Amino acid sequence: MLQQVNGHSCGSDAQSPASLREDLQEFLGGEAPLHQLDDLTKVNPVTLETVLRCLQARYMADLFYTNAGCTLVALNPFKPIPQLYTPELMRDYHAALQPQKLKPHIFTVGEQTYRNVKSLIEPVNQSIVVSGESGAGKTWTSRCLMKFYAVVATSPTSGENYKIAERIEQRILNSNPVMEAFGNACTLRNNNSSRFGKFIQLQLNRAQQMTGAAVQTYLLEKTRVACQASSERNFHIFYQICKGASEEERLQWHLPEGATFSWLPNPERTLEEDCFEVTREAMLHLGIDTPSQNNIFKVLAGLLHLGNIWFADSEDEAQPCQLMDDAKCSVRTSASLLQLPVDLLLETLRIRTIRAGKQQQQVFRKPCSRAECDTRRDCLAKLVYARLFDWLVSVINSSICADPNSWTAFIGLLDVYGFESFPDNSLEQLCINYANEKLQQHFVAHYLRAQQEEYAVEGLEWSFVNYQDNQTCLNLIEGSPVSICSLINEECRLNRPSSAAQLQTRIESALAGSPCLGHSKLSREPSFIVVHFAGPVQYHTAGLVEKNKDPVPLELTELLQQSQDPLLIALFPTNPKEKTQEEPSIQGRAPVLTVVSKFKASLEQLLQVLHSTTPHYIRCIKPNSQSQPQTFIQEEVLSQLEACGLVETIHISAAGFPIRVSHQNFVERYALLRRLHPRTSSGLHSPYPTKGPAASALASSVSREAQGS
Ligand SMILES: Nc1ncnc2c1ncn2[C@@H]1O[C@H](COP(=O)(O)OP(=O)(O)OP(=O)(O)O)[C@@H](O)[C@H]1O
């Protein structure tokens, strides 16, 4: 009935179409207008179409949050709605007797999570998995949740303790602008796209007060420092220093007004993320004082000048490449900002050292080709930036992390880069989409599969809801013995010359049986297609192996160890015992630790943490790819709904038993009901089953009733 009414096009009578529709609905079915359905399990029937219509109706009515069983759907409004995130509203959700009876909100999830910690029911630790495609609102959501906990999980005491707690919360909140300045960038899909993944662990003491936090980051897209797609930008911080530096700083950092940098595309675009002052202020609160900040910005300016060093082709292979005319000044400026000997910088960029022999004693020096010089220059910048980012994260952690004895439980917020599919996808997208597959699998395993299996085991009446399991895709990416990861890693291990076309052939022949592997007949570049749960993505094989090796010539690290700059000295210590991955082993074998293998290991660690917690899910949905408010493009939303299996989730949530109470807790909580029903004469049999499937069904229904769901 709803569908028909909604599909009906209303005329332009005196009555507005919206109110006519509502009247019609009421008359025909007595059902609530679609936008009033704040739980998708109430949509009837539950189909992709009805869910889509409901979300659209709500979006147009400025209702951005909707429950979908165990998941909260968050539609990106693409406009500021300050009244939706006020501290007063946070307190309302916190103080509510039954927060789930209030309008759906991320604060309901926040509060439920918080109450779960309080209840001490195992697993006490909680996690909130915020997912969605790039630009859907994940970072925004996690930021708001952090603010929520900063407001509600505070010490009620006054005086000194209160001040300490407030300082910790401020620091935790201040970690956001700093990490976003250094780790976010404007991409085609999102002006403030996170180019790294993060898991924030909010640490709570016995009284459920936030005593600290810890941040774990994943795979920063460091290639962006030296290479940006034409309509994209470098990390925000570079624009911030160029736009926000004072006159004096401009002189110190050699950043005159109007200077152009190859690695600073689209500087004319001004974004709200360009605010230098916010970053500085936040850094200060995290304990990074002004001299240290200036040191960081000076190094970053040095990298910008490094990007302006261009080489000319050498006519004689035995001679190093010459600098382009404009580049001579850039070399001097870059060397001076990075406090490196200018000759050594030039030599390192232009001459390769080859070690040979058993103990690598024989050393040859070979001039690099122009392309090799460019690669070394880019590599130097990536090396510095990646270490700087890691260093910042460790500074942040030391500033916000609580003493391990002071906290007993945590709430984890996971905000990883969303699923990506560009015209040109490479190793970065493969890793990002792989992470999204793993998270989807966690959701599928935890919710869609495990729940239904449990119902079957408990003997509950249940007709199985089919869902899209992404295991086949994961097998293709990471399975054993052969997968895309293993094949790319093997190329790195064998260190054999391998063309992009050869890699494509190897992948296609070794994994031909996988239904998730596709081939594009139209593509001129060697590539392969992976059919992800969120859609097919074509990956180009050119440069894949090299990126996976992520080779850092030893000379580059040695060069940076020669720097007199205090920050670079800290980032590149000259500790002979510290053997870095980039150093070749004695036997001259290629390093086994590849980007993919390190990423895989960190993902596995993350999933272990997630498995040990009670998970909560927030699905962020991007209503349109133009980031426009009040614009709901059905096809785009539909593909996101399909990709995350939302309809299946709703089906299972609607028909299933989402609330689980242990038998003991159930008896304790509802023992009162027994008094209402007289016992049988023997006194042994309660009218309610206390064990087995029927008990859990009963527990669920009573509990659901109690919670008003
Ligand atoms: N609840 C909201 N209210 C207002 N604007 C929002 C909201 N959520 C998101 N936005 C807007 O959408 C933009 C993109 O959101 P966000 O950066 O959180 O996306 P994301 O999912 O983290 O993307 P990525 O994966 O690229 O990092 C924000 O910069 C903000 O302008």
Look at strands 193-194 and 527-532 and give their pairing: unpaired
Question: With bands split at pLDDT 50, 70 and 90, how would you rate the model's confidence at 644?
Answer: confident
Of the candidate ranges 315-329, 465-479, 574-588, the one whose mean pLDDT is the lowest: 574-588
Tokens describing residue 40: 């998708």
Question: With bands split at pLDDT 50, 70 and 90, how would you rate the model's confidence at 360?
Answer: confident
User: 301 in the Ramachandran plot: left (φ > 0), alpha (ψ -120 to 50) or beta?
Assistant: alpha
Query: Annotated catalytic, 194?
Result: yes
Tokens describing residue 91: 């307190």
**Residue 645: strand, helix, or coil:** coil
Question: Out of 183, 212, 307, 418, which one is annotated catalytic?
Answer: 418
Task: Look at residue 3 in the predicted model and tell me its pLDDT.
Answer: 30
Instruction: Find all residues with CB under 8 Å of 95, minimum gap 6, and list them.
Output: none
How distant, in Å, are the alpha carbons of 70, 353, 486, 541, 585 from that of 593?
38, 22, 12, 20, 12
Distance CA 318, CA 208 (A): 68
Q: Yes or no: say if 456 and 462 are a contact pair by the CB < 8 Å rule.
A: yes
Distance CA 631, CA 616 (A): 28
Average pLDDT, the chain: 86
Strand partners, 362: 356
For residues 452-472, one letter each, b for 16 or more C-beta atoms within 10 angstroms of the residue's C-beta and e for the rest, the string is: bebbeeeebebeebebebbee
Q: What is the mean pLDDT of residues 535-548?
A: 93
Whether residue 407 has pLDDT greater than 90: yes
> How many Å lie between the centroid of ligand 1 and the Cα of residue 686?
53
Q: What is the mean pLDDT of residues 103-129?
A: 94
Q: Which of 75, 192, 620 to mutate to test the pocket of ligand 1 (most atoms within 8 A of CB)?
A: 192
Residue 473: how many CA atoms within 13 Å on its side-chain side?
23
Query: Annotated catalytic, 113?
Result: no
The pair phi, psi for residue 663, each rounded to 5°, is -55, -45
Residue 223: how many CA atoms within 13 Å on its side-chain side?
18
> How many Å lie between the centroid of ligand 1 and the Cα of residue 132?
10
Q: Yes or no: say if 641 and 51 are a contact pair by the CB < 8 Å rule.
A: yes
Question: With bands split at pLDDT 50, 70 and 90, how would you rate the model's confidence at 659?
Answer: low
> How many Å lie between the centroid of ligand 1 and the Cα of residue 682?
63
Distance CA 173, CA 286 (A): 10
Kindly state the helix (H) or strand (E) to which residue 571 belongs, with its residue range: helix 566-571
Question: Out of 116, 175, 190, 205, which one is annotated catalytic?
Answer: 190
Report, in angstroms and rounded to the nearest whole number, the Rg of the chain calculated over CA atoms.
Answer: 29
Query: Residue for token digits 């122009």?
Result: 370
Whether residue 217 has pLDDT greater than 80: yes
Task: Look at residue 701 in the predicted model and tell me its pLDDT.
Answer: 46
Nearest Cα to Cα of residue 74 among 129, 138, 126: 138
- Closest atom, ligand 1, to C-alpha of 620: 21
Distance CA 503, CA 689 (A): 61
Task: Look at residue 22 in the predicted model and tell me its pLDDT.
Answer: 58
Nearest Cα to Cα of residue 441 among 238, 200, 259, 611: 611
Look at strands 65-68 and 193-194 and give their pairing: unpaired
Task: Give residue-wise pLDDT tens across range 417-458.
Answer: 888 888 889 999 999 999 999 998 888 887 777 777 778 888
Instruction: Return the number of other C-beta atoms located less than 10 Å from residue 708's C-beta.
Output: 9
Percentage of the chain lying above the pLDDT 90 cut: 62
Query: Whose CA is closest to atom 25 on ligand 1?
Result: 134
Query: Annotated catalytic, 478?
Result: no
> How many Å lie between the centroid of ligand 1 and the Cα of residue 511?
37
- Angle subtended at Cα 210 by Cα 206 and Cα 211, rounded to the nearest 5 degrees: 85
Task: Give residue-wise pLDDT tens across range 671-697.
Answer: 888 776 655 544 444 444 444 444 444
Query: Annotated catalytic, 12?
Result: no
Task: Give residue-wise pLDDT tens across range 260-311.
Answer: 999 999 998 889 899 999 999 999 999 999 999 999 999 999 999 999 999 9
Distance CA 184, CA 195 (A): 5
Query: Whose CA is closest to atom 14 on ligand 1?
Result: 135
Q: What is the mean pLDDT of residues 38-50?
A: 90
Nearest Cα to Cα of residue 135 among 645, 626, 641: 626
Q: Which fold has domain 427-547?
A: Methane Monooxygenase Hydroxylase; Chain G, domain 1 (1.20.58)
Q: What is the mean pLDDT of residues 235-257?
A: 97
Task: Look at residue 670 in the predicted model and tell me its pLDDT.
Answer: 83
Q: Yes or no: say if 107 and 90 are a contact pair by the CB < 8 Å rule.
A: yes
Query: Annotated catalytic, 369?
Result: no
Q: Yes or no: say if 483 and 476 are a contact pair by the CB < 8 Å rule.
A: yes
Question: Out of 116, 134, 514, 696, which one is annotated catalytic?
Answer: 134
Nearest Cα to Cα of residue 69 among 448, 484, 564: 448
Question: With bands split at pLDDT 50, 70 and 90, how would you rate the model's confidence at 318?
Answer: confident
Query: Annotated catalytic, 139?
Result: yes
Query: Whose CA is closest to atom 16 on ligand 1?
Result: 137
Q: How far is CA 431 from the centre of its chain?
A: 12
Task: Look at residue 445 in the predicted model and tell me its pLDDT.
Answer: 81
Distance CA 335, CA 576 (A): 24
Task: Look at residue 7 in the predicted model and tell me its pLDDT.
Answer: 30
Pocket of ligand 1 (CB under 6 A): 76-78, 80-81, 132, 134-140, 190-194, 417-418, 620
Task: Look at residue 502 in the predicted model and tell me its pLDDT.
Answer: 94
> How many Å lie between the centroid of ligand 1 and the Cα of residue 440?
20
Whether residue 160 has pLDDT greater than 70: no
Long-range CB contact pairs, 85-91, < 8 A, 24+? 85/144, 85/147, 87/151, 90/147, 90/148, 90/151, 90/152, 91/151, 91/152
Amino acid in the structure at residue 586: I
ipTM exceeding 0.95, yes/no = yes
Distance CA 535, CA 419 (A): 9
Question: Out of 133, 420, 428, 555, which one is annotated catalytic?
Answer: 420
Kindly state the helix (H) or strand (E) to which residue 491 belongs, with its residue range: helix 484-494
How distant, in Å, are the alpha carbons of 23, 434, 468 from that of 447?
38, 20, 12
| Better pLDDT: 683 or 521 | 521
Nearest Cα to Cα of residue 556 among 304, 290, 353, 286: 353
Whether residue 329 has pLDDT greater than 50: yes
Q: What is the mean pLDDT of residues 109-123?
A: 93
Question: Out of 194, 211, 217, 541, which one is annotated catalytic?
Answer: 194
- Look up the pTM and report it: 0.85
The pair phi, psi for residue 322, each rounded to 5°, is -85, 155
Question: With bands split at pLDDT 50, 70 and 90, how would you rate the model's confidence at 707?
Answer: very low
| Better pLDDT: 13 or 181 | 181
- Closest atom, ligand 1, to C-alpha of 195: 27
Nearest Cα to Cα of residue 565 among 365, 371, 338, 405: 338
Strand partners, 216: 199
Task: Look at residue 54 in the predicted model and tell me its pLDDT.
Answer: 96
Question: With bands split at pLDDT 50, 70 and 90, how would you rate the model's confidence at 496?
Answer: confident
> How many Å lie between the centroid of ligand 1 and the Cα of residue 191?
9
* Domain range list for the chain: 1-31, 427-547, 663-707
